[in-house]
Chain A
Amino acid sequence: MPVWYAAAKPLIEEGLLRVVGITQEQHPDRCELYAQWQGYDFPILWDPFNLTQSTAVPMAMGVDGAGVLRDRRVDARSTDKLRAFTNKDWIHDVVSPAQPYPGVTLEVARTGVHGRNLNSARQAGVALLLFHRVLHGTPPDAKVFETSLLKIGGYAGMEGAAVDARFHLGVAHRLRYDSEHSQGSDFQASLDAWLGALLENPGQYIWRRRIQQWGPRLDKPYPFYDWVATAQAELTERGETPVVVRVPLTGSEVAGSTKEIPLREQEDLDPDPKGRTPRDTRGLVTIESAAALHTGIASKRVREPAGTARIHLVLKPGKNVHWGNEAGPATIWVEVPEGWNVRRQLWTLPLPEEVSTSEVRRIDFEVRPPLGPPTPGTIRGVAYYPLCEGEDGTCNLWAQPFEVTIPLPDPGDGDDDDEDDEDGGADR
């Protein structure tokens, strides 16, 4: 991508070419940061719902001056090659452009008016979320999320619905999960919807990447967002204020890929084998969980590592409580079923330097089922956290058990897939 832009720049300055980008990311602010870091000054469009039906990135297309696609994979590696494209003369026939999603428009988002069938309602649901910030300057509110999810879900659940509706449903759930209107089930709902879509079309690598972003390292083609810290540091050094990354990066989003099957690294001691720590029965902290499966499960040729999953745990303190940081970090004790594996059983969550904080705490780790066909399983564990109630209230160590069920879909539902990695790695 940087090479293509460098090659295009002289032609842009000569007025012979324009560049427009389309990003296939869930989070536009991350792409904005990347563009700032790279010095991209061309417009970049946000296509989280994959309305352009891209199956691989990066891809450069050549469009003539009349807006007609002339080269689906234009050679953009050098200025000379691009100049050869811009120098061509084309013969034009008058043809109207196709409307792949006639109901996904700014106008539909503005008026809320859409056709009477469920597919039109689905498209209106997508439009409401996609264009909300353009129309109102703010993220969608709870009502908009609810309406959109009902419209998209109503169609996606219909027999014979287009398979991309499931992907759209996953995007909508994830958008709400990353908002202040997040519901605990949204993360898992997004992963389930994306996997359901992928089972129907395993060759759709943009859909696959959306799961892999939060999935196990064995399944990752690249780290995804390991560049963020470097970009922020370099922009600051340049005297610029980096675009704010609104949603915190999870461990899975910066972890590198691996070919090694995760094995137990060390034997940890159960911090409370007799269960003496008082249980947080009042729900002072809410624990949310999600399991991102290896996307190999979407293919018929399921191989053994496809059973690996990345577990995400989120600890949300309620109102009128705060973490008692002086007493130490929160910890997670994990127990896996017989024959399953986890790198370690005791995990320590990051501890802020401040004495009293009330931030959401997150951790993600991987589990692996026994060799053989994929099997469902339940991961059980206990979260331990020092917590204080009220401004000057008492502080106690609390424990809260949790369970994460890993339901594995029937791989027989999916199509054959050769699993060749079409987008070929981290060429941005």
Chain B
Amino acid sequence: MRPLLALALASLATPTMAQDVFVQDQPLPDLELPTIDGTRTIRLSELTGPPTLLIQFASW
């Protein structure tokens, strides 16, 4: 099998997009994002301790 074709087939075998990142009654996804000031990252799955109000927003 040619390498490019093999690579393409391997790609197709990989899950390409999660159906739902946030699922009711499931842990937050293991997703790491930087803070807006670029000084650190936070992993959503590590938000434990006190309950969290997670707000998706934009300044517009």
Q: A-side interface residues toward B, CB under 8 Å?
A: 1, 4, 8, 15-25, 28-35, 43-47, 51-54, 56-72, 74, 76, 82, 85-86, 95-102, 104-106, 115-120, 130-131, 133-134, 137, 155, 158, 160-165, 209, 213, 222-225, 227, 426, 428
Contact = CB atoms under 8 A, between A and B. Distances in A.
B53 A62 contact: yes
Contacts of A33: 59
Contacts of B21: 51-53, 98, 100
A418 B18 CA distance: 24
Contact of A118 (B7, B46, B59): B7
B51 A45 contact: no
Contacts of A209: 58, 60
B27 A96 contact: yes
Interface in B8-46: 8, 10-14, 16-18, 20-42, 44-46
Contacts of A60: 53-56
Contact of A100 (B14, B29, B51, B60): B29
Contact of B42 (A24, A43, A131, A162): A43
B52 A97 contact: no
A59 B53 CA distance: 10
A28 B46 contact: no
A69 B25 contact: yes
7 tightest Cβ-Cβ pairs between the two chains A and B: A162-B16, A133-B38, A34-B59, A100-B18, A45-B33, A97-B27, A28-B36
A117 B7 contact: yes
Q: Classify chain B's interface size.
A: 35 or more
Interface of B: 7-8, 10-14, 16-18, 20-42, 44-60
Contacts of B55: 1, 4, 19-22, 58-61, 76
A57 B50 CA distance: 24
A168 B37 CA distance: 21
A24 B58 contact: yes
B11 A69 contact: no
Q: Pick from B18, B27, B57 the residue with the most CB of A within 10 Å.
A: B57
Given A53-B18, A69-B24, A18 B50 contact: yes
Given A63-B47, A66-B48, A155-B11, A428 B60 contact: yes
A19 B16 contact: no
Given A30-B59, A97-B27, A74 B39 contact: no
A101 B16 CA distance: 9
Given A97-B27, A98-B23, A162-B17, 18 more contacts: A1-B55, A17-B50, A22-B56, A47-B33, A52-B33, A63-B51, A67-B27, A68-B26, A69-B24, A71-B24, A98-B18, A100-B21, A105-B32, A119-B14, A130-B33, A158-B11, A163-B17, A222-B60
